[in-house]
Amino acid sequence: MTAGTQTTATRFSASTAKTPPKLKGGLPVIGHTMAFVKDTIGLLQRTHDECGPVGRFKLFGKDMILFVGPEAQEALFRLPDEVLSPNAAYKMMVPVFGEGVAYGAEPARMAEQMHMLYPALRNNRMRTYTEIVARETSGIIESWGDEGEIEASAFFGMLTNFTSSSCLLGKEFRNEMSEEFARVYYDLERGIVAWGYIHPYLPIPAFRRRDRARARLGEMVSEIVEKRKQSGYRGEDFLQTLMDAEYSDGRKLSDHEITGMLVAAMFAGHHTSSVTTAWTLIELLRHPRFLGEVREEIHRRYADGEDYTYESLRDLETTENAVKEALRIHPPLFILLRAALQDCEILGYRVKKGNWVAVSPMVAHRDDQVFRDALRFDPDRYGPGREEDKRPFAYISFGGGRHKCMGNAFAILQIKTIMAVLLNRYDFDLVGDAIETDFQGLVLGPKPPIRIRYRRRASAAV
Ligand code: HEM
């Protein structure tokens, strides 16, 4: 344990550490599992309301301790992996990423692998990604005509699939393998089911399909890596970064590791960005004043046909605040998990080896003490004089501490680019406004169908 963590977490002494308060109710043995499965957010919120910043309930026979509030979240995020482990908590992802990759590797090895992604996230690469996202978005709306209707979750799912596969996997995947890739990726995604918490290699059809898909993806990546090596072509993408990367001992990544890292980046970045883009547009359409301000900022910059460049997009503060606010109200990753590998004490509470520990961006962001009028969509809260996201560990849509999202800047840039291209050319209207959150799956998004009508702006530059 590092010196910096001594203040918040130490091996507890039985005399001083308190047991976290327990949520009322729950059945013998299975505890609150049924309530968790039926209404996860409701259960998390109830734990916070009844127990305060630290609360405990029973899930799948184990204690889960929920930490809510900036101080509690900071205490948790600052602990090293040897004490609170994401790898042990997310081991259902190991067959998807691959043994020895990301959560399937030792913490030090995983940290080295994550570090290898940095060159793919530098400013010069962001410039390339901006061009790709603007080109893909413009390309896809070229066939739209003057007016029509989209189903937003399918539309943004497809669009971010194109942009993510171009930026992460490279143009070969985007141009030659996109259909097969979509099929394989679908089987991988469908292989993430609750059974994985019990054992990630149970002999069930979903896991068999997942394992076949992972093996096929490995072959596809190997094929492209080989072709690139033969031809000397160098991509401006994550694949190239990983092909160039080396461990500290000089060893290059194997094709298995490259595949796993690419899958990890796709899983981390694709669905999360897609649902956030949909929520941003939905929330703006529900809030005409903010929509007007965002549209004005975009038109001022691009109505005359100026290129969508990295620099110009970075300047769109009003649009960025709207994206951030959509992400605060609708954090796609609503619970972040760790497994306690050692007994420890957090904020004076006892956490025992084997406990699950969690923070919930969803519950954290609904606290009026931290975000004024928390349930209201209000992008002004990030503006001068308020800056509610600046309080350390308050705004946690991208997590915090050593495992904070590495792709946050890329994600926000991508969503801003899509918004700029769309709102510069078209006006949009929601058909009905009763859109709810879809609580199926690990990444929460708006529940389809989400019907949105579009109409070309009279003065839109093409
Ligand atoms: C709106 C989009 C996104 C959201 C809301 C999001 C959210 C998050 C969150 C909450 C975590 C922390 C997980 C935890 O602590 O358990 C995380 C980690 C991570 N994210 Fe993102 N993410 C997004 C987009 C992306 C993109 C586009 C990429 C890459 C291209 C990416 C790469 C990663 C990686 C590699 C990690 C793991 C970091 C580590 O464990 O050290 N994310 N993300």
Alpha carbon of 453 to ligand 1 centroid (Å): 31
Alpha carbon of 147 to ligand 1 centroid (Å): 35
Alpha carbon of 177 to ligand 1 centroid (Å): 25
Paired sense of beta strands 426-430 and 356-359, if any: unpaired
Q: How far apart are CA 446 and CA 438, in angstroms?
A: 5
Residue type, 260: G
Is the shortest distance between the CB of 206 and ligand 1 below 6 Å?
A: no
Q: Whose CA is nearest to atom 19 of ligand 1?
A: 405
Q: Which residues contact 457 (CB under 8 A, 6 or more apart)?
A: 424, 425, 426, 427
Which token pair is 142?
């070229």
Phi and psi (nearest 5°) for 52? 90, -155
Choice from 133, 393, 405 to test ligand 1 binding pocket (greatest atom count within 8 A of CB): 405
Closest CA to 64 of 88, 113, 31, 16: 31
pLDDT value, residue 178: 80
Which token pair is 161?
């699939």
Q: Does residue 47 contact residue 66 with C-beta atoms inside 8 Å?
A: yes
Is the shortest distance between the CB of 411 and ligand 1 below 6 Å?
A: yes
- Split the chain (462 residues) into runs of 10 and give each run's mean pLDDT: 45 76 90 88 96 94 95 96 95 94 96 96 95 96 96 95 92 85 89 82 94 94 94 95 97 96 93 97 97 98 95 97 98 96 94 97 97 98 95 98 96 98 97 86 91 90 50
Q: Whose CA is nearest to atom 18 of ligand 1?
A: 405
Q: How far apart are CA 243 and CA 100, in angstroms?
A: 17
Q: How far apart are CA 371 and CA 381, in angstroms?
A: 8
- pTM score, two decimals? 0.94
Is the shortest distance between the CB of 277 and ligand 1 below 6 Å?
A: no
pLDDT value, residue 3: 39
Is the shortest distance between the CB of 86 and ligand 1 below 6 Å?
A: yes
Q: How far is C-alpha 40 from the chain's CA centre? A: 18
| Position in ligand 1 atom list of the atom nearest CA 333 | 10
pLDDT value, residue 228: 94
* Domains detected in the chain: 3-456 (1.10.630.10)
Choice from 398, 412, 416, 443 to test ligand 1 binding pocket (greatest atom count within 8 A of CB): 398
Is the shortest distance between the CB of 268 and ligand 1 below 6 Å?
A: yes
Alpha carbon of 265 to ligand 1 centroid (Å): 8
Start-to-end C-alpha separation, the chain = 57
pLDDT value, residue 2: 40
Q: How far is C-alpha 390 from the chain's CA centre? A: 20
Is the shortest distance between the CB of 114 and ligand 1 below 6 Å?
A: yes
Q: Which residues contact 222 (CB under 8 A, 6 or more apart)?
A: 255, 259
Alpha carbon of 324 to ligand 1 centroid (Å): 15
Q: Does residue 379 contact residue 318 with C-beta atoms inside 8 Å?
A: yes
Closest CA to 21 of 68, 60, 61: 68
Q: How far apart are CA 172 and CA 166, in angstroms?
A: 8
